[in-house]
Amino acid sequence: MFKQFTGWTLTLIAVAVVIIVTTIWFVNNLTEKIQKEETKKVATWVEANRELLQASTDANFNLAVEIVTTNTTIPLILTNEEGRIIDSRNIDSQQIIKDPNFLKEQLEDFRHQHPPFVMTVDIHSNNYIYYGDSLILRQVRYYPYIQLLVVALFIGLTLFALSSTNRAIQNQVWVGMAKETAHQLGTPLSSMEAWVELLKEHEEVRSLAIELAKDVDRLKLITDRFSKIGSVPKLEERNVVEQVASMMAYIKKRAPQKVNFSLQTAEHDVTAMISPTLFDWVVENLLKNALDSMEGKGQIQIVIENHPAHLIIDISDTGKGIPARLQEKIFHPGFSTKKRGWGLGLSLARRIIQDYHKGRLTVKSSEVNKGTTFRIWLRK
């Protein structure tokens, strides 16, 4: 499902890019054509004004008047040689009344937009006609970009909604699997507890029954963890140092002898609101991943830092490391570099820390063949 969703996302992005590039190219060409036409119109308007000044014949005079009066879209400003504004056309008169400097600002803007047309008044003086882009030209130039922005926003919201729906479906699947696993384990565990109690009554197998009871308790703990996935856990104030040390001691007993464990902390009483069962699961998962990456020998170091508003737990190993391209993928459900397993461990661990404890679980650093450091950030 995730690959299918990713494929559709890339296809939508590719189509959107093609539409955007095509639209921008078309708009730029259309704008350039309109701009050339407006420049020709202004040139014609200038010639018509010259004809009015000369007024050689009635026919030419009438044609010039018609040309001059038909320009109702292109804004124009007429100045003398000293730059003093003589007249203006198609500029908001209300704005001119409100702001005395408005016309001067428009003139400065027109000077940057287009070179002026020179209109000879007499042999001693010239007037200059400055012009700007018409409202139609500005609409053609900018409105498509606004439309593209709206379309991009719509596509973004659609992709976000699809992504949220996809994550929700995935979460429902994982939660359903976890709860079903807990339910299926519950019945045989109850039976095993009863058998262990019967075995304890026989002295010759009493020591064996005690060891079996430890494994049954372990299975009960695992069942409890799975049953809590998908429901809001009850957070308790616990000493995180003791919690982490206890889980490290449990893993250490089951780790190869060539793996060294160390726990560093400046304070031994560091409390935070956690779900003990689920928090232990996260630490256990990270420690087991560290063991798997070292193949029987190396160093696992846990460093706990206490800050006023939060605490940090860094779990480091000297294992294979994680390539940079995979450092975010390892938290995706179903992703695994191991030959066995469902690839749910780190995904559930991040869910436990982020969704239930409102913290963060990230790869702080990793280097291939040198090791990895996972960081847990928790609010106090």
Question: Which CATH number characterizes residue 333's domain?
Answer: 3.30.565.10
What's the number of domains the chain is made of? Answer: 3
State whether 26 and 153 are in the same domain: no
Residues 165 and 238 reside in one and the same domain: no
User: Is 298 inside a domain boundary?
Assistant: yes
In a domain, 329, yes or no: yes
The dihedral formed by the CA atoms of 85, 86, 89 and 95, expressed in degrees to the nearest 10: 50
In a domain, 223, yes or no: no
Cα–Cα dist 121/281, whole Å: 91
CA 166 distance to own-chain centroid: 16
Q: Are residues 211 and 250 in the same domain?
A: no
Mark whether 68 and 205 lie in a shared domain: no
CA gap 270, 248 in Å, rounded: 16
Same domain membership, residue 309 and residue 212 = no
- My answer on whether 239 and 370 are in the same domain is yes
Least confident of 47-51, 161-165, 213-217, 281-285: 47-51
What would the pLDDT profile of 228-242 be if each residue is shown by its tens digit?
Answer: 776 677 899 999 999
**Six-digit token pair at 209?**
């029954």
Q: What is the mean predicted confidence (pLDDT) over 45-66? A: 58
Q: State how far the Cα of 78 lies from the Cα of 244, in Å rounded to an integer.
A: 82
One domain, residues 133 and 145: no
Q: Same domain for 275 and 344?
A: yes
Query: pTM higher than 0.85, yes or no?
Result: no
CA end-to-end distance (rounded Å), the chain: 37
Strands 259-265 and 298-306: parallel
Domain-terminating residue out of 83, 111, 138: 138
Tens digits of residue pLDDT in 327-365 = 888 887 666 666 554 456 788 889 889 988 999 999 999
DSSP 310-351: EEEEEEEE-SS---GGGTTGGGSTT--SSSSS-S-HHHHHHH
Task: Give the per-residue pLDDT at 208.
Answer: 85
The answer to whether residue 123 sits within a structural domain is: yes
- Shared domain for 79 and 41, answered yes or no, is yes
The answer to the question of residue 240 being in a domain is yes
Residues 18 and 134 in one domain: yes
The last residue of a domain, from among 218, 252, 279? 218
CA–CA separation, 28 and 351 (whole Å): 48
Structural domain includes residue 227 = no
Tell me if 191 is assigned to some domain: yes
Chain-centre distance of CA 62, in angstroms? 65
* Same domain membership, residue 120 and residue 52: yes
pLDDT of residue 61: 46
| Strands 310-317 and 76-79, bridge-based pairing | unpaired
Q: What is the pLDDT of residues 90-108, one digit of tens each?
A: 887 788 778 878 888 888 8
- CATH of residue 112: 3.30.450
Domain endpoint, select from 115, 138, 161: 138
Cα separation of 373 and 366, whole Å?
A: 6
- What are the beta bridge partners of residue 74? none
Q: Are residues 71 and 103 in the same domain?
A: yes
Token digits for 161? 């909604």
The least confident of 41-45, 102-106, 309-313, 357-361 is 41-45
**pLDDT over 50 (residue 2):** no
**Is 167 domain-assigned?**
yes
Structural domain of 338: 233-379
DSSP annotation of 353 reads I
Given a contact cutoff of 8 angstroms between Cβ atoms, the answer to whether 261 and 255 are in contact is yes
User: Average pLDDT, whole number, for the chain?
Assistant: 82
